Amino acid sequence: MLAILCPGQGAQAPGMLSPWLELPALDASLEALSEAAAADLRQLGTQADAETIRDTQYAQPLIVAASLLSLRALLGEDTAAVDVTAGHSVGELAAAAVAGTLSATDALTLVGVRGRAMAAAAAVTPTGMSAVVGGDPAEVEAALTAHGLTAANVNGGGQVVAAGTLEQLAALADAPPAKARVVPLQVAGAFHTEHMAPAVAEVRAAADAITPADPRATLLSNADGAAVTSGAEAIERIVAQVARPVRWDLCCETMLELGVTAVIELAPAGVLTGLARRTLPGVQTLALKSPDQIDAARELVREHGGSR
C-alpha cells in the first residue's frame, strides 16, 4: 500500500524548482499555478534567496507548487496508484490535490490566500517555532507550558514543535528540558496557534468559493489522523488547521493501521521521510528531491501502489 506525503513550511530551499522546470511539461504548467497563487513562482523557485522564500506568503505557494509539479512528473494525470495521502501543515493542501479533492489551481489559489493571511497575522507580534527533539514527553510538555508555548506540531519520533513569541522561544532554548535539543525553524511565525486566528476568516472566505470533490484516495487529516471522506469536510479541516495544532504523529499511526508499506515524499522532500524512518518501522521510504529519482519512485509505485 502506497502513501504519498507532502511536506510543510520549512522544507523550502533556494532554486528548488529549477530541476523540475527542465521538464517541458512542468515548465509549461507553471504559469497557471503562478496565476492562481498570485505569485511569481518561477522567480521564487529559481532565483530568490533563502531569506526571500522564508517569507510565509512566498514559502507556502512555492512548497505546494513544488509538490504538485513533482507529482505530475511521477504520475502524470493518473493518480489511481495512490492509496493514502497526507500533508504536513500547508502540505495538506497539496495532499488534497493528490486525492482529487482540489484541482492543482484551486490548491494554489487557496494556498496563496493562506500564505498572505498568515504572513499578515505573523506580522502583528514577532513569533516563531522551534523543534524540541528528544527528552521525556511529560517534561517537554511541562517546559512548553511553563514558558507559555504551544505544541503546534506533534510529529512523533520524539519531536515536538514549540510555537510562541520569540522571547518565549529564547527562554526555552536557554533552559531546555533534560536530554532535549531546541532547534529554531526557518519559519516566520507561530503557525497553528492562537497567533494565527486572524487569518482563519480570510482563508475560509477563499475556501467558500471553491467546490471540492470527495477524495479518491484515503486523505488523512492533520487534526487527528482521521481519514476524511467528503470534500466539504476536507476543506473545513484545512481552514481550521491554520490556528490549530498539527498531529502528524496520529497521521503516522493511521498509516500503520491501514497497512501502508511504502511512502514517497513529494518535493521539496526530506523532512517527512526522515520522520518516517523513526515512526513507520518497516515501511520503505523515498524522498523525491529531483527528476533523477523518478525511475526509482515509479518502481516503488509499481511494487506498492493501487492496493486499496
d(CA 108, CA 97) in angstroms, rounded, equals 10
Residue with cell 514549540: 162
d(CA 282, CA 260) in angstroms, rounded, equals 10
* DSSP state letters, 154-208: EEETTEEEEEEEHHHHHHHHHSPPTTEEEEE-S-SS-TTSGGGHHHHHHHHHHHH
Burial class (CB in 10 A: 0-12, 13-18, 19+), 302: exposed
Catalytic residue list: 89, 192
